[in-house]
Chain A
Amino acid sequence: MLALTIYISFAGALVLAMMPRAAAAIVRVIALAVAVIGLAVALMSFVAAGAQGPVAVADVAWIPAMGIRYTLAADGISRVLVLLTGLAAVAGILFSWNIGDKEGDRANEFFAFFLALIGGVYGVFLSVDVFLLFVFYEIAIVPKYFLIAIWGSTRCEYGAMKLALYSFAGSAMVLIGLLAAYATAGSHTMNLQALAQYPFPISFQMWAFPLVFTGFAILAGMWPFHTWAPTGHVAAPTAASMLLAGVVMKLGAYGCLRVAMTLFPHGLDPWGFSVLGIDSWRTVFALFAVIGILYGAVVALVQNDFKFVIGYSSVSHMGLVLLGLLTLTQIGIDGAVLQMFSHGILAGLLFATVGRIVYERTHTRDLGILSRLQLGKAMPFAAWLFVIAGMASMGLPGFSGFVAEVQVLVGAWRAFPWFAVLAGLGIVIGVAYTWRAMQRVFFSDLPAIDSSGASVPIPEYEPVTWAEKTGVILLTGTSLVIGLYPRLLLDVIAPAVQAMPHVLLTGGRQ
C-alpha cells in the first residue's frame, strides 16, 4: 500500500504539468489532495503495521541483466520518515497556497515540481535495492533546482546552482562507491540486505565507506560541506525551504545510515592507529558532526538575516543527527532517527513562520529592521507561533526535539564523552540564538519607526489565512504529540534499529 505514495505523487506531478497555466485554483486543490492522500496512506500504514518488522511493499524484476530489482519495503525507520514526508508535503502545500494568486506565478509548474520532489523522497525512504534508492535520490534533487531558481528570492539562481552542484558531486561519490561495490561483490544483486551480507575486504571498505558516507552527508549538511545549505534555504521559496530542511536533508542522513554504514560497517573503525586521538573514520566524521553543531550554532548567533538564522540552525541540528548515527549505540541511533523526524517538523514550522508569515507581509528579513516593527503587537499569531517553534527547536521538554536530543547525547556520552560535552554546548548556544531572534523580531521594545526615522503607528498586516493556520496546527500538533508521548515513534524505530546488521552496532569490532 505504501507504494501508492510514490505513484500518486508522480501521477499528480504529471497531471499538473499538463494543466493550463490559468487554472491555479484547481491546481492547488489537486496538489493538496494528492499530498493528503499520501499522508493518509503513510499514516494508515504506520498505524496498521505497528511495531512489526519490515513490510514488503513491492518486488519485481527491473533490469534482470544487472540483477537490479524494483524492491520496496518499509521497516520502522522508513515508516517514520515516510510519515514525516507526508506531513511536510501537506504543510508545504498549505504554506504555498498564495502561489497562483498573481499573474505569471506558474502555479501548475510549481506544484508539479513540488510533487515530483515528494515522490522521489518517498521512493528513497522505501527502496531496498540500492540502485533504486539512488535513482529516487537523484529524482528528488532535480526539482529542487527549478523550485529555487524560478520561485526563489535573494540570489536564487546562485543558491540553486550551488545546491545542484553540491548534491550531484555528492551523488557522483556515492555512485562511484556503489559501482565499485557492485563490481567487487560480483554477486549480480543490488539488494541492500544481500549486499550487506557480502564480506567486502577491509581494505576496500576503508575507502568505500568514507566516500559513500561523505557523498550522502553532503546532502545532510555535514560540515565542511554544508555551505550549500544556508544559501539554498535562504534562496528557496518558503515551501521549498520547508522541504529542503524538512525532508531533503534527511535523505542524506538516511543514506549515511542505510547505505554507507550498513554496507561498509568495517569501514567505520579500520585504522588501527591514532592521529591526535582520532583513530577511525567514525571519530573523524563524529568530529565533523560536532564541529557542525557548534559552528552552525555560533554562526546562527551572529546572523542578521532571519532566514539565515534558521538556515544555520539546520546545519547545527543535522550535526546532531550525524553524531547520533555515528555513536553506533542503540539509543544514539534511535535518537538520531527521532531527531530527523523532529527537525523535519520544526524546521518546517520555523521556515513557514519566517518565510511565509513574516517575510511575505513585512518584505524584510533583516533583524535590525524587524526589531523596529513591533511585530509582537502587530502579528501576535506569528509571535506565539515562533515562540512555540523556537522553544521546541531549542529542545524544551514536552516537544519532540527534547526526547531526540537527550537520546543522542546519551549515546554520544557512551561513544565519545568529549564530543557529547561539546554537543551539549552547541545546544546551549541554540537557546541563545533562538532567544536572540525571538527577542529582536517580536519582543523588541524599540519604538516603531520607518526607514526615514519618523515614528509610525503599529502597522496593520494582512491577516493569517486558513491555509496557514491549518499548516501550523498540523505541525505544532505533531511536535507536541511526539514530545509528550515519544513512544509512539520510538516503539517503531527501536525494533528497526535492533534489526539492523549486528556488525553495524559494534562498528565492525568483534
Chain B
Amino acid sequence: MNSLVNGVNYGNLFAVTLPETILEIVSLLVLVVDLGWLRKSAQSTRMAAACVLGVLGCLSSVLWLSAHPQTASLATDALAATPLVAAAQIGILILTALVLLLSVKAEFSRNPGEYAAIVLLSATGMLLVTAARDLLIIFVALELLSLSLYVLTAFAKSSAQSAESALKYYLFGGMSAAMMLFGFSYLYGLTGSTNLSEIATALASQSISPLLVVALVLVAAGLGFKIAAVPFHLWAPDTYQGAPTQIAALIASGSKVASFSVLIALTDGVLGSQPYGQNPPWIMVLVWMAFASIVLGNLAALVQTSVRRLLAYSAIAHAGYMLLGIAAHTPQSSASVLYYTLTYALTIIGAFGVISIVERSTGSDKLDAFAGLSRRNPLLAGSMLIFLLSLAGIPPLVGFWAKFNLFASVLRSPTAGHWGLPLVALALGASAISLFYYLQVLKRVYVVKSAQTEPLLISFVELATLVIIALAVALLGVFPSALSGWIPLG
C-alpha cells in the first residue's frame, strides 16, 4: 500500500494519465452536447454528433501519446509508461475510434450521448488497465472497463437477447472479479505488496507454496474470463451474439488488447523478468488454458450456424494461441502477443462491421444471411474476404505474420522447453482446421446464390471505415515491419 501513497510525483502522474483524462473530459462533453443542445434533434443526428465527438477525443489522445515518446520504464510505482504500453494504448484508442465510426448509423439505442460516453469510459478503463502495474489499480481499472461493457451489452433495450446476454456477462464477470480479488489478496498476503515489481522480487526469494498456487489459479480464473479462455469462456458466445454488434466488436478488440496487456504485466510480476521463470505453476496454468482454448474453440466453431457465435468460438481459439506467447515469457514473445492482439482486434472490428451491415439488411446473422453478398456489394464482400482470410492466418495478410511472429518467439523461448513444439504444432494444425469454418462464411459470400440480389446500400462512413480497415490488414501484411517501430519483435 505504501507504494501507492508515498513518493508520487503528481506532475508526472498527471502527464502519464493525460490520455485518460482527455477521454473522460470528452465523455462529459459528449453528454453535455447531446443532452444539452441536441436533445430535440433527430436520433441519427444525435448519434452521429456523439460518435464524431468521441472519435475526435480518441484522436487527440493518440496525438498526445505519439507526440510524447515514452521511454521511462515506470512513471510512478503504479503506472507504467513504456513504449510497449504506449503502443497498446494508441492501438486501443484507434480501435475505439473505429468502433465509434461504425456506430455512426447505429439505431439500437435511444440514448446516443450515453452510449458514446460509456464507450469512452470503457476506453479509459482499457488505457488504465494497460498501464497498471499495481494490483489495486489493475482491479479498479478492470472493473471500470467491465462495468462499462456490461452496460453497453444491454444497450439495445428493445432486444431481449441483448438483456439476456448482458445478464450472463455480468454474472460471470462479477464472479470472476471476485475470484481475481481473492487471488490478489493472497498474493498480497504472501508478498506484502501490491506492486508488481515488488511482488516479483518477493516471489523470487520464496519457494512455491500451495497458497501461492491457489492464488495463481484464482488470478488465472479472473483474467481467463476477461480473455475468454477455456474453461472461463462460457459467456463469450452468448454475449457476442446478443450484444449490439459494435459492442461485440469492442469486447472482442479493445478489451482483449487491454486484458492481454495486463496478463503480460502480471506474468512478469509473478515470474520476474528473467527469461527463465521461477514459477512453473503459473506457466502450467497458462499452458493448459491455452491447450483447452485452442482445441475447444476451434472444434466448437466448426458447428456454428450463427456467424457471431462462430467468431466468438474462434476468438476463444485465438486467445489460446496468444496464451502460448504469454507462457513463453520472453521480451520477444510479449511483443508478439501485443502485435497479435492489436492486429487481431483490428481485423475482428472489420468483421463485426460487415456483420452489422448484413444484419441490418437481412435481420439475421446466420450463415445463410451472407449468401450472395459478393453480388449485392462486391466491396463489402472483398473486405470480408480479407478479414476472414487474415483471421485464418493466410499470407500475405497481417494475421499470418501475427501467428508467425508469435509461434517463432514461442519456439525460441527457453521457457517453452518440451511443451513449445507440440503446442505450436497443435496450434498450426488447428488453424488449418479453422480455415474450414472461415471458408463456410466465405462460401456463402462468394459461391452460394441468394434470393436477394438487389444491391446492398450502406452509408459512406461505414464503407470507408471498413475499406480502410481492410486495406490496413492487407498492407500491414505485405509490409509486416511497418509496426515494428512500435513493437520491437526482434
Contacts and interface: CB of A to CB of B under 8 A. Distances in A.
10 pairs of A and B residues whose beta carbons are closest in the complex: A183-B411, A135-B395, A168-B432, A172-B432, A172-B428, A65-B490, A65-B489, A149-B447, A169-B432, A183-B412
B428 A66 contact: no
Main secondary structure of the interface of B (DSSP, over half): helix
B405 A157 contact: no
B446 A146 contact: yes
B446 A149 contact: yes
Given A161-B436, A165-B433, A172-B431, 16 more contacts: A17-B382, A62-B480, A63-B481, A64-B481, A65-B488, A66-B408, A66-B490, A135-B400, A139-B396, A146-B446, A149-B443, A161-B439, A164-B439, A172-B428, A176-B424, A183-B412
Contact of A183 (B394, B405, B408, B480): B408
Interface of B: 374, 382, 389, 394-396, 400-401, 404-405, 407-408, 411-412, 421, 424-425, 428-429, 431-433, 435-436, 439, 443, 446-447, 480-481, 484, 488-490
Contacts of B480: 62-63
A65 B436 contact: no
A66 B332 CA distance: 11
13 contacts: A62-B481, A63-B481, A65-B488, A66-B490, A109-B374, A145-B439, A157-B447, A168-B432, A169-B429, A171-B432, A172-B432, A179-B424, A180-B421
Interface string A171-185: 110011001101100
Nearest to B405: A66
Contacts of B404: 131, 175, 179
Contact of A66 (B374, B425, B443, B489): B489
Interface string A108-142: 01000000000000000000000100110011001
A457 interface: no
Contacts of B425: 176
B408 A182 contact: yes
Contacts of A65: 481, 484, 488-490
A463 interface: no
B488 A157 contact: no
Interface string A86-117: 00000000000000000000000100000000
Nearest to A150: B447
Contact of A186 (B374, B400, B412): B412
A180 B488 contact: no
Contacts of A180: 411, 421
A508 to B, nearest CB: 23
A66 B336 CA distance: 12
Nearest to A151: B447
B412 A150 contact: no
A138 B394 contact: yes
B435 A139 contact: no
A171 B488 CA distance: 27
A175 to B, nearest CB: 6
Given A66-B489, A139-B395, A168 B424 contact: no
Contacts of A17: 382
Q: Which of A161, A168, A171 has the most CB of B within 10 A?
A: A168
- Which applies to chain A's interface (DSSP): helix, strand, loop or mixed? helix
Most buried by B among A165, A169, A172, A186: A172
Interface in A18-49: none
Contacts of A161: 436, 439, 443
Nearest to B422: A176
Nearest to B425: A176
A168 B408 contact: no
A62 B404 CA distance: 14
Contacts of B405: 66
Nearest to B403: A175
Nearest to A149: B447
A188 B439 CA distance: 34
A64 B407 CA distance: 17
A23 B105 CA distance: 34
B432 A157 contact: no
Contacts of B429: 169, 172
A109 B382 CA distance: 11
A165 B429 CA distance: 11
Contacts of B408: 66, 179, 182-183
Contact of B395 (A109, A138, A150, A157): A138
Contacts of B374: 109
Contacts of B401: 63
Interface in A430-445: none
Contacts of A131: 404
A179 B407 contact: yes
A146 B424 CA distance: 29
Contacts of B389: 142
Contacts of B400: 135, 138
Nearest to B379: A18
Nearest to B428: A172
Nearest to B484: A65
B435 A168 contact: yes
B386 to A, nearest CB: 11
A175 B428 contact: yes
Nearest to A141: B394
A164 B490 CA distance: 32
Interface string A220-237: 000000000000000000
Contacts of A165: 432-433, 435-436
A145 B401 CA distance: 22
Contacts of A183: 408, 411-412
A103 B43 CA distance: 43
Contact of A150 (B396, B439, B446, B481): B446
A62 B395 CA distance: 14
Contacts of A66: 405, 408, 489-490
A145 B389 CA distance: 12
A21 to B, nearest CB: 9
A135 B484 contact: no
A134 B435 contact: no
Nearest to A177: B425
B443 A179 contact: no
A64 B488 CA distance: 11
Contacts of B484: 63-65
B481 A157 contact: no
A168 B405 CA distance: 19
